[in-house]
Copies of this chain bind each other. A is one copy, B any other.
Amino acid sequence: MVLLSGGLDSATTLYYALSRDLSVYTLSFDYGQRHSVELESARKIAAEAGVPHTILTLDTQIFQQSALTDVSIDIPQDRDESAMSSSIPVTYVPGRNILFLSFGLSYCESRNLDSIFIGANAVDYSGYPDCRPQFIEAFQQMANIGTRAGDEGHPIKIEAPLINMTKAEIISMGIKLGVDYSLTSSCYQPSSSGKPCGRCDSCLLRAQGFAAAGVPDPLTA
């Protein structure tokens, strides 16, 4: 089961899982994100890849204090790398990856699936605590102890194949694997038609990644 946000990293993760000849399912979350256009991207990516896709709706009471769910908090713009990495950004959504992985565990255990793939990535951007290798390891330990699958000796495995890759490495691998990046969506504050702003951290990191990989971004080219 692949956690598919609709962004560049999760799309690449999906194609990585497919390259390993696995039976793949995909899961997305509608959590009141201001960039809900990414759900439409996730739908298109899953359809293009020919894999089943489920969108779970989260109670919107849950997340507060994040610029990704609260439109009264401004999305930072035009920040350089040192500003981005100086502290955990306001776009951090409290406990989001913990919650998504937990839903993934219940989903997999309910359906006898054996792995969760997550496109978490720690290299280009170390601001999010729930994107670090130590976090993935700690979640795996907890899942091994706290589930029937773990108790019975076949724990659900958390795979984060991109965790130590740069954005450029991710894009280069994805292009080899056949990802259509024109379907992906990275911007935190796209226009109503889905056009990326080009100024938020996510747009800037994406642009740097494509530049470093030496290929044009089909979204902005």
Interface residues of A (CB under 8 A from B): 54, 56-59, 61-66, 88, 92-99, 102-103, 105-107, 109-111, 129-130, 132, 134-135, 138-139, 141-148, 150-152
Contacts and interface: CB of A to CB of B under 8 A. Distances in A.
Contacts of A150: 129
A96 B106 contact: yes
A106 B63 contact: yes
B130 A135 contact: no
A215 to B, nearest CB: 33
Contacts of A63: 106, 110
B97 A146 contact: yes
Q: Is the contact region of chain A dominated by helix, strand, or loop, or is it mixed?
A: helix
Contacts of A57: 59
19 contacts: A56-B61, A56-B62, A57-B59, A65-B109, A65-B111, A94-B147, A95-B147, A98-B102, A98-B143, A98-B147, A99-B99, A99-B106, A129-B146, A130-B146, A132-B145, A135-B145, A135-B146, A138-B142, A138-B144
Contact of A110 (B65, B130, B138): B65
Given A94-B109, A98-B142, 9 more contacts: A63-B110, A65-B111, A94-B110, A95-B102, A96-B106, A99-B99, A99-B106, A135-B145, A141-B141
B142 A88 contact: no
Contacts of A139: 142, 146
A95 B105 CA distance: 6
Given A98-B102, A102-B99, A148 B88 contact: yes
A120 to B, nearest CB: 10
A24 B194 CA distance: 42
Contacts of A95: 102, 105-106, 109, 146-147
Contacts of A106: 62-63, 93-96, 98-99
B92 A148 contact: yes
A58 B59 CA distance: 7
